Structure 1
Amino acid sequence: MRGERDMRKKKIAAGLLCALVFVMMPCGVWAEELLVGGQAVGIEISSDGVIVSGFSMVETDAGAVSPAEEAGFRPGDLIVEINGETIRTAEDLIAAVARLGGNEASVAVQRGGETVRLRVRPALSPGGQWLLGMWLRDGVSGVGTITFIEPESGLYGALGHSVNDESSGQSVPLREGRICAAEIVGVSPGTPGTPGELSGSSESGASIGSVEKNTAAGIFGHIAVIPGGRLLQTGQIHTGAASIVSTLSGHETREYAVEVDRVYTDGGHTRALLTVTDASLVSGAGGIVQGMSGSPIIQDGSIVGAVTHV
């Protein structure tokens, strides 16, 4: 399956990890006081299964074919099994297809919360490889923001929402993951109807912590070296003046003024709508942009939530 796997780049765009509505979800209370976040981090997650990201044509003696597309696979499908064999990585799938030798296989995929079984027969390429004619991805990377760090254990929360596959919009099942040191190298300002985004670069091999859970409330794990910083208690959000802490350039965290316009409940969760009132954030980025997800919200000297969407 040469050429059928997406390659990761060191250069990462924060827009991979954000949606288009701005809401707030509260931080849970794990300790009396938490370290305030705001630091940008690179996020790398390996999926527990292989994501179909698209299709390709296989040149055969009978013409160009795409066995996977013809069999009913869809972009965003998560391949988890082939002929009863568990598939966790792209290498697992490539090896399993090679062993088929042109025989038809039963493939289990997760799609929209359900398991779907498809039957597919690989095609033989001129180079002698058995191929399904699909592009594969077994990981997702991007930029997000640390919300808080528990000072004793190093437990952190970040991003404020789950890491999703861009093809399906579904949460990526976590096999393993890490956060890396990241530097913000540019901002594409938002405009009415179009969210802007932060662009960052992560240092190869510069892992600073683990990703252990990928949840609707954000990603969670442990950071290797607990940094110094401001310790605040958690509190309840209300309408009125507040601020967010984020990184828009390099490694520097800054606090920006916002106004909490509305607080409401949705599905048992407290959420809020904010308006940016900080002139420097409006002029520099056009407001809150993708990549700021996870920025802690500070109000009355307490951490009251996190930016989750823009």
Structure 2
Amino acid sequence: MYVNFAACQRSDDLLYEEIPKGPLRHGAALVLALLLCTTAALAAEPVQRSLIPVGHTVGVKLFARGVVVVKLPEGGTPARTCGLKTGDVIVECGGEAVTSTEQFQSLLQKNGTDATALEIKRQGSPLTLSVEPERNEQGICCIGAWIRDSMAGIGTVTYYDPATGAFGALGHGITDGDTMALMPFGSGSILPSTVKAVKKGSSGSAGELRGNFDLSGDLGPLCANTDCGIFGTLPADCTLAAGEALPVGDAVEGPATIRANVSGDEVREYAVEILKRLPNASDGREMVISVTDPDLIAATGGIVQGMSGSPIIQNGKLVGAVTHVLLSDATKGYGISMETMLNAGENV
């Protein structure tokens, strides 16, 4: 955001012409106009954001709000008969909130084979269905659908905001592996992680970081899962919150670096090239990047799964985060702008 001085001048010209003659002389009117212009410029000047680029991997555990229907078997199952579809999120069963797959099964047993109301969300819109469960060979009431209530994996923290304690990671949302739909957020957290091995990327096959994370100790809670990343808070004494804050800036085509953790606990900067900017592109693909650092190419083949969220630094500013890899060329991928990621985190 910037102040267009020429536009401000034109506005002052109009203001000056409208000031009536009389006690206020032309010279005084001109001074007043300049003062108003300066005041407007100061009011419009944005506050410079400064964030700590992190670049360290973390374990991520995410629990859905309700349970997600991930697959429906063929045939006349109760789920198909009542109208359930893949990707639906079951949020209530028989008037009670659904909190997990196990609890949903308990609710079905409680209601038996009688018609039961299911409150669902379909692409974000509420819908009520009526299902009549059937008993399987073991006498358990079922509706004939595979469901999921949680996911876990490894990703990279992009930034920490020392002013608010907020962090952002991944640069894209956590989606269900079967439906590719954004997991509806219920709760979650990030966990300490170290990288133990790397499956290198190659043409036609995405590589991945393989790490261990400690399920017993959370680093901080999540508050949202969005298309532009996951967001939460960290305590100020967290090791991820250490480091020098950099101003947020806009990416330009040319050399840059990324911070990535591809071995153990070590975070390093690696050279990349921003090949092209694609402003306002969807799905976190606002810039095309190419890994040029020989050390990173030797270690990973380029961009691999788990590096999503690696901060992109250019000209001393934090400008974005790595989000995707090209399957046809692991040295190339996409990134999201920091402005887009920050806007998503502030609007949750």
How does the TM-score come out when normalised to structure 1?
A: 0.81
2:70 alignment partner in structure 1: 53
Partner in structure 1 of residue 337 of structure 2: none
Q: Please name the residue that 1:304 is paired with.
A: 319
1:125 is matched with 136
Within the alignment, does 1:255 sit opposite 2:269 as a pair? yes
| Secondary structure of residue in 1 paired with 2:296 | helix
2:161 matches 1:150: yes
In 2: Cα distance, 1:72 partner to 1:190 partner: 41
Q: Is the 8 A contact 2:94 2:118 kept in 1?
A: yes
Please identify, of 229-238 and 260-269, the stretch whose mean Cα deviation from structure 2 is larger.
Answer: 260-269
Residue of structure 2 in register with 1:214 after alignment = 225
Change in Cα spacing, 1:259 to 1:299, as seen in structure 2 (3 Å) is same
The residue identity in structure 1 corresponding to 2:141 is W
SS in structure 1 of the partner of residue 216 of structure 2: strand
| Distance (Å, rounded) in 1 between the aligned partners of 2:310 and 2:243 | 15
- Distance in 2 (CA, whole Å) between partners of 1:55 and 1:173 is 19
Equivalent in 19, 33, 38 of residue 50 of structure 2: 33
Query: What is the deviation of 1:295?
Result: 0.4
1:33 maps to a residue whose letter is S
Note the alpha carbon deviations across 1:169-192, whole angstroms, 9 max, x for none: 221121111000011122111112
Q: CA deviation at 1:298?
A: 0.6
One-letter identity of the residue aligned with 2:259:
V
Q: Would the aligned equivalents of 1:31 and 1:150 in 2 still touch at CA under 8 Å?
A: no
Query: TM-score of the superposition, structure 2-length normalised?
Result: 0.73
Q: Which runs of 5+ in 2 are unaligned?
A: 1-45, 326-348
CA contact (8 A) 2:113 2:132 kept: yes
CA distance in 2, matches of 1:54, 1:122: 17
Cα shift readout 1:194-229 (whole Å, capped 9, x = no counterpart): 221112221121210110111222111111333322
Counterpart-to-counterpart distance in 2, 1:223 and 1:80: 29
The offset of 1:65, in angstroms, is 7.5
| Matching residue of 1:290 | 305
* CA distance in 2: counterparts of 1:291 and 1:70, whole angstroms: 40
Q: CA deviation at 1:75?
A: 3.4
Tell me whether 160-169 or 89-98 shows the greater mean CA deviation.
89-98
1:167-186 mapped onto 2 (5 Å cutoff): 167-186=178-197
Are the aligned partners of 1:30 and 1:150 in contact in 2 as well (CA < 8 Å)? Answer: no
Are the aligned partners of 1:77 and 1:168 in contact in 2 as well (CA < 8 Å)? no
Rg larger in structure: 2
Q: Deviations over 1:93-136 (max 9, x none)?
A: 12221122211223233233444444322122343321223332
Q: Map 1:1-310 to 2 at 5 A.
A: 32-55=49-72, 66-224=77-235, 225-227=237-239, 228-266=242-280, 271-310=286-325
AA aligned opposite 2:322? V
Deviation at 1:72, TM superposition (A): 4.2
**How far apart are residue 80 of structure 1 and its match?**
1.4
State the secondary structure of the residue aligned to 1:68: helix
Q: Over residues 53-96 of structure 1, what are the superposed CA-to-partner deviations in whole Å (9 max), with x where a residue is unaligned?
A: 33579xxxxxx984334544333321112244332322331222
Please tell me whether the aligned partners of residues 47 and 172 of structure 1 are also in contact (alpha carbons under 8 angstroms): yes
Structure (1 or 2) with the greater helix fraction: 2
Alpha carbons 2:70, 2:148 under 8 Å: kept: yes
- Secondary structure at the aligned position of 2:215 is classed as strand
The alpha carbon displacement at 1:142 in A equals 1.0
Is 2:285–2:323's contact at 8 Å kept on the other side of the alignment?
A: no
Residue segments in structure 1 that go unaligned for 5+ positions in a row: 1-28, 58-63
What is the letter of the counterpart of residue 223 of structure 2?
E
3-state SS, counterpart of residue 151 of structure 1: coil
- CA deviation profile, 1:142-189 (whole Å, cap 9, x unmatched): 111011111243211111011112222221121111000011122111
Deviates more, 1:170-179 or 1:292-301: 170-179
Amino acid across the alignment from 1:99:
K
Distance change in 2, residues 1:31/1:140 (3 Å): farther
Instruction: Indicate the structure with greater strand content.
Output: 1
Secondary structure at the counterpart of residue 266 of structure 1: coil
Determine the C-alpha separation between the residues in 1 that align with 2:121 and 2:176.
13
User: Matched residues in 1 for 2:151 and 2:202: separation?
Assistant: 26
Which residue is 2:343 aligned to?
none
2: distance between equivalents of 1:153 and 1:114? 33
- 2:280–2:286 Cα contact (<8 Å) kept: yes
Identity %: 36
Give the partner amino acid of 1:119.
S
User: Do 1:154 and 1:226's aligned partners in 2 also have CA atoms closer than 8 Å?
Assistant: no
